[in-house]
Amino acid sequence: MDILLREDREGVAILTLNRPQGLNALSGSLARALQAEIEDCIAGGRVRSILLTGAGRGFCSGAELGEKLEGDGDKSILETWYHPMVRALRHCPIPIVAAVNGVAAGAGMSLVLLADIVLCSEKANFLQAFARVGLVPDCGSSWLIARRIGDARAREMTLLAEKVDAEMALAWGLVNRVCPAESLMEDAFGIAQRLANGPVNALARIRALHESAAELDFDSQLAEEDRLQRACSAGAEVREGRAAFLEKRAPDFTAIPRGQ
């Protein structure tokens, strides 16, 4: 059985974690498979948005704790198996939508936090369970959670290791929308398709600006906005957008490839 499924549809790459018997726990092999698919989506040029979800009743229950992995040389297990996946997702120029169908815990919650837009089922829940087993948050979650929901709530999640249900996740800003379980994938695909039909090069730069804003001071961010705005202004997307505005029609960006 393939541990990661991929379906390409209308510019959207649907990636499904496929270890449902273990609530899609992130084995080392699954982490590497996800990293490889993200890199392939970037390199191939045809994928314009990514939709990430899980098979069965869970999104991802976190790292596979029962698995015995070894680091490469003097590298830790995290550095060897998981950090390459995390970096591939964070630095991906393609917009990512997460459809959270069930539990998202530990490293599985990091996958959610690395997405741009998150939809979850009313049955979903979120958990930073590390303290339950004497560990600290990893896979970037200690950096990502506070930036998504604020320091106070991040400390509550990580120190108390209590589940956050879908309703609270929405109230906290952890997710963008809560959907009925039966319509989750349809709703999430609709958003992923909308992104795929959009100005993907501008969207990649918007994603980059959100990432740099977490690290740069205000004046440095102004300079980064200017740099990327110059790049957009020289591209085909802005020409199509302006032409559509003047002609009073909807713009069609789908013929403009990524990388311009």
Express each pLDDT in 187-216 by its tens digit: 999 999 999 999 999 999 999 999 999 899
pLDDT the model gives residue 65: 84
- Separation between Cα atoms, residue 163 and residue 107, nearest integer Å: 14
pLDDT the model gives residue 259: 84
- Separation between Cα atoms, residue 239 and residue 6, nearest integer Å: 33
pLDDT, mean over the chain: 96
Q: Smallest Cα–Cα separation from 1: which of 19, 14, 27, 15?
A: 19
Region 225-241 average pLDDT:
97
Number of other residues whose CB lies within 10 A of the CB of residue 172: 17
Report the percentage of the chain scoring pLDDT > 90.
96
Express each pLDDT in 96-133 by its tens digit: 999 999 999 999 999 999 999 999 999 999 999 999 99
Express each pLDDT in 146-184 by its tens digit: 999 999 999 999 999 999 999 999 999 999 999 999 999
Contact in structure between 120 and 100 (CB atoms under 8 Å): yes
> Quick check: 56 pLDDT over 90?
yes
> Quick check: 1 pLDDT over 80?
no
Assigned token pair, 30: 């699954």
- Separation between Cα atoms, residue 93 and residue 109, nearest integer Å: 20
pLDDT the model gives residue 66: 83
pLDDT the model gives residue 260: 77
Express each pLDDT in 21-35 by its tens digit: 999 999 999 999 999
Q: What is the pTM of this model?
A: 0.96
Give 258's pLDDT tier (boundaries 50, 70, 90): very high
> Quick check: 256 pLDDT over 80?
yes
